[in-house]
Amino acid sequence: MDIVYIRELSVDTVIGIFDWERAHRQTVVMNLELGTDIRAAAATDDISKTLNYKAVTEAVFAFVRSSEFLLIETLAERCAALIMTEFEVPWLRLSIAKPGAMRQANEVGVVIERGTPLVIGAAVDASDK
């Protein structure tokens, strides 16, 4: 499996359970690892044959910016569903952090992994070892 990644995508959104969180936009920082197969794109040097990280970034940014979830867990699940459906990604790992959400920690957040990793090439038979 090959991985296209997007690191430290910062988006201002409404997120949180407290009244003060609902009244002010907060920055969340996302990291995405997206399972794909880049061989066709690499062989042809053709963007249409790969996962377009610009399109993914723009879609996720617009979705998060317009969202107003209570829980970061909900935001993570909805972002994962969007990416997997809209971009036909079979596997992803996504982290979302809320920097400065707690005085005692630099950031808090969640990491989720969804889907099945893409197997590229022939499977290795145990008897071949």
Q: Which residue numbers are catalytic?
A: 98
- How far is residue 62's CA from residue 94's CA, in Å, rounded to a whole number? 17
Q: Which amino acid is at 119?
A: V
Each residue of 60-80: b (16+ CB within 10 Å) or e? bbebbeebebeebeebbbebb
